[in-house]
Structures are given as C-alpha cells and as structure tokens.
Amino acid sequence: MNAHPEQTEIILTTLNARYRHTAIGLRYLRANLAQLRKLSKIIEFDISQRPMDMAEKILINQPKIVGISVYIWNVTLTTTLVKLLKKLAPNTIIVLGGPEVSHETEEQEINKLADYIICGEAEVAFYELCRDILSNTPPENRIIYPPLPNLNNLIMPYGEYTADDIAHRVIYVEASRGCPYHCEFCLSALDKQVRQFPIDIFLQEMGKLLEKGVQQFKFMDRTFNLKIESACKVLDFFLARIDKKLFLHFEMVPDRLPPPIKQRIEQFPKGTIQLEIGVQTFNQEVLTRIGRKQESTVTKDNLNWLRNSSQAHLHADLILGLPGESITSIETSFNQLLKADPHDIQVGILKRLRGTPIIRHTTPYNLVFNPEPPFDLLYSDKLDFLTMQRLRRFARYWDLIGNSGRFKNFRQILKERHSPFADFIAISDWLFATTGRTHKISLMKLFELVYNGAIKVMEIDKTTATQMIKKDFAASGRGEPPPFI
C-alpha cells in the first residue's frame, strides 16, 4: 500500500446480491449516527467480489468499528470476510446486524467471530454502541436486543444516496415497516404491528430524490396497499409528477384492491408502475395451515382487473413446497395463476428463514431443508428429493423462457393448453435431459430448444411451431428467420 487515507472510525458495509442493488439499511445507520456520522463511511460490495479484496478496501481506512449487514444471500462470503478481518486486524471491533444473524444467534459460526450482534432494527442501537465503544465504555452484553425505534424520530436515509447511486443503481424507499399478516414462511410473521413513517415528511424526501434525478423507486413496504389513505397519498404524489420519467415498484396484498387505489393505478401509463403480488398458492387448506389470510377468488378477480384495466406490470409469486402441498396442488395453483396472465410468475422454492414459524411444520410434514444457504426445501412428505430437483429446474427454465418476454407466442400457446404446468415440466425434463444444464444456454440455442420442445414434447404440429418461433424470434430484434428452421 502507498499512502494511507485519513482514518475513518466507522465503516458500514455489506455484500449486495448484485452491483445495481443498494443497502438502504446502511444508509439508515449512517444517517442516524448523529455526531459520529462524519467519522463514518459506507462501502458496499457484491457477492461476485473476493473477500480478500473486500478486506483490503475496508482496512485501508484503519477503522475502529466495522458494521456489517448479513443476509441469507451473503452469509457464507461474509463469514469468510469476518474471519479475514479478525486475522488481519484483531483489534477492530466487528458489529453484525441484519435478518440472518438476528435469529438463532448463538449457534451461528459468524456470530461467534463477531464482537457484537444487534438483533432487529438497529438505527438507534448502533449509534449508542459506537458512541460507547469510542468513549471506552463498551457494553458487557455482546448480543443486543434493542426496542423498536420510533419512526417519527429517525433521520431519513435518502440523503445518503450518492450521485453515483442515483445514476447507476436501484433506489430503495419505504413508507412503512411491518406486516399485519402472519405467513409462517416470512420474517414479517414476527411483526407485532405496522408502523408508518410520517407521510408528509416521507413525501418531502421523495421530492428531494426527484430533484436529484431519481427515476426508479423500489418501495420496500411489505403491504403498501394496507392503509388506503397513505397509499393514495403516495400514488397521488407520483401521479402529479408523471411527466417525469418514472418507474415505481410496490409490493401489494393481492386481495385488497379497493376502488380508490384502482382509480389511481389505472391512471399510470405503461412502463411506470410494477406491482409485486404474493399469491404463493391458491390451495386454501395450505394457506390456512401457514397462517396466510387470503381470499383466492378475490385475488384472481384483482389480477384479472389489473391485467385488463391497468397498464401496470404484474409480478406474481408462487412458493413451491409449502407444508402439505403436493405436486398436484402446485399444478393447480400454477395453472390458475398463468390463466390470470401476470407478466412474470416468480416460481420460488420454500426456504427456512431463521426465526420464521414455518419450522413448526417440520415434523408433521417431514420438511427437510438444505443445511446451507439459502436453506431451501430438499424434500417433504408429499415431494421427494427427485421431484424437488425437477421443480427447481422447472423454476429456472420458466425464468429463462416464461418470464423473459422473448417467448410471448410460445407462452400464449402454453396458456391455452389443458395443463400448462404439466406441459412445461415435461419440457423442463426434456431440456435438462438434452442439455444437462440450467445455465449458460445461449439465446439462439434456447430458441432452438423451445422450438424442438414444442414439437417433440408438447406435440404441436410443425407448421404452428414454426410460425410461433418465427414471431418470437423476430420480436427479439432479429428480422431473419432463425437458422435452425
């Protein structure tokens, strides 16, 4: 190393899943450090980087305290990073926080390496801990369980987004915290209440972001449409500024879409609003079992209304492997959801997030989870390991084909079949048998595989399949017929 830069007392860091992501949690922590803020710095990494390089970038600042946010997608690499930091700079205080270390805390390797762990919302607790450490009065308890902070008293984090963040990365915002529902697969099942940020102050902050050039706003609220008045104020705020180039992402409760919200959603032009809708399953028995209150008929009606009466981009979620759910139940839910025709269907495998109540179903339904992150389901009483492997490949190939937007004509044909799920899992099996891979398939090869799969597996006549693939190929930006025809 050459010259050392000026010393920074506190480094805030995490490993994002992708470079384009930003960690709003780090920005909350820094914004609420009061007089210590000027002694702090945010350094973000992503999981494609090497822990040795991360350690160098952190330690060149000679910090006394390193605060690290730990999540399910980064815990393995973060553990390696913490080991390196402790070897290279053993006197540096390591403070961990985030959902992955806030539950089952004592048994985790990464927590045993750290000096302090803050469980839960840490804006106030992290400031108090840093203040005490830097004043040489550190607390005796290394595991800290702080009370929930008063959202009215928190400093908003949005001033911590840099010009580079605004130009190149996703800007996360939140108007509320918590969820009133108790879906047992989700950490929000532990929430006691929904808490709102002061709406007028929040909207002032959104205005400042717009003035700085922010165009994409990803709302982190678990239930954006829970409180109608607040949701309408936010939608009205952005509708009044729709002349700007905007893209808004909201997570919405699927069976709660009252007229005031409908009236506003239908005013947004195409390409400006995306709604993430957690369907998870249409099996009412399974929904009841996992504590999820959802009226499936209303959900389907709302999806149909959104698809036909608004220009919102719809991203719907299904979870495969919920306790007691069979492949027949999964087939029914997928077919019903595809009939509603959301633009994307995110097919995910059930994960055992630390702290979630889903664990209570382990014995009755023989749920066996991967011991390594992401702790996804290996098998259950209704879905053996080989079936789960097929479903994993189904999810991956569906993302490549069904969600890519490149195979709209194929997807339309699939949607009109007797059982789209049965057809696509058959194609999925054939794709894997043919290629032996789920990644690193070139786009040209994928077009050829879809074409041949439609003929060989779905038994679509060659003329129809040829017309289908020509249209999809042309829509992808290529004028000439595909060379494999």
CATH code for the structural domain at 10-144: 3.40.50.280
- Whether residue 356 contacts residue 184, with contact meaning beta carbons closer than 8 Å, is answered with yes
Tell me, what's the pLDDT at 6?
55
The kind and range of the H/E element at 85 are helix 75-88
Statement: residue 7 has pLDDT above 80? no
Question: Average pLDDT of 277-284?
Answer: 96
Residue 136 region by backbone torsions, left for phi larger than 0, else alpha for psi between -120 and 50, else beta: left
pLDDT digits (tens, 9 = 90+) for 285-328: 999 999 999 999 999 999 999 999 999 999 999 999 999 999 99
196/199 Cα distance (integer angstroms): 7
State the Cα angle at 178 between 175 and 181, rounded to 5°.
130
CB 249 within 8 A of CB 276: yes
**Kind and range of the H or E element at 67?**
strand 65-69
- What is the total residue count of the chain? 485
- Which H or E run contains 279? strand 273-280
Report, as an integer, the average pLDDT of 93-101: 97
The DSSP string of 341-387 is: --SEEEEEE-B--TT-GGGGGTTTTT-EE-SSTT-BEEE-SSS-HHH
The residue with tokens 């025709």 is: 341
Residue with tokens 């700079």: 89
pLDDT computed for residue 379 by the predictor: 98
CATH H superfamily, domain 170-383: tm_1862 like domain (3.80.30.20)
Per-residue model confidence as pLDDT tens digits over 407-462: 999 999 999 999 999 999 999 999 999 999 999 999 999 999 999 999 999 999 99
What one-character DSSP code corresponds to residue 150?
A: -
At residue 266, the pLDDT reads: 96
- pLDDT for 1 equals 42
| pLDDT value of residue 3 | 47
**C-alpha span between 315 and 341 (Å, rounded):** 10
3-state helix, strand, coil in the chain (%, to 5): 45, 15, 40
* For residues 153-175, average pLDDT: 97
Q: Spell out the domain ranges in the chain.
A: 10-144, 170-383, 406-485
Burial (CB count <10 Å: 0-12, 13-18, 19+), residue 451: buried
Same fold yes or no, 10-144 and 170-383: no
Q: What is the pLDDT of residue 468?
A: 96
Which pLDDT does position 481 carry in this prediction?
84
